[in-house]
Chain A
Amino acid sequence: MPVNTEVQRAGQEQSTATPVLEINNLCTNFELPGSTVQAVRDVSFTLCPGQRLAVVGESGSGKSAMAMSLVGLIPPPGKVASGSVKLRGKELVGLGDKEISAIRGKDIGLVFQDPMAGLDPLKTIGSQFVETIRVHQNLSVRQAKELACELLAEVGVNDPRRRIEDYPHQYSGGMRQRVLIAMAIANDPAVVIADEPTTALDVTTQAQVLELLERICDERGNALMMITHNLGIVRQLCDSVNVMYAGRVVEQTSVNALFNEPTHPYTKALLDCMIDPYTTVRGQLPAIPGSPPDLAAAQPGCAFAERCPLGSAEKICHEQRPEAVVLASGAVSRCHFAHELEGAQS
Chain B
Amino acid sequence: MTFGYLVRRVLQMIPTFIGATLLAFLIIQAAPGDFTDRFILEPNMDAAQLERMEARFGLDKPVPLQYLNWMWSLLRFGYLGESFSYRAPVNVVIIPLIWNSMSLVLVSLFLTYLLTIPIAVISAVRQYSFLDKAVTFLSFFGLAIPNFFFILVLIVGVLMLQPVLRDLGAGDSIFGALIRPLSYDLERGLLFPVGGMRTSQIYDQLTVWGKLQDRFWHLVLPVLVVTTASLASLVRVLRGQMLEFLRADFVRTARAKGLAESTVTYKHALRNALNPLISSTGAILPELVGGAGLVEFVVRWPGITPAFVAAIAAQDIYIIMGLLTLSAVLLMIGNLLADVLLVTVDPRIRYS
Specify whether A and B are partners.
no
**Residues of A bordering B, CB below 8 Å:** none
Show the binding face of B for A, using Cβ within 8 Å: none
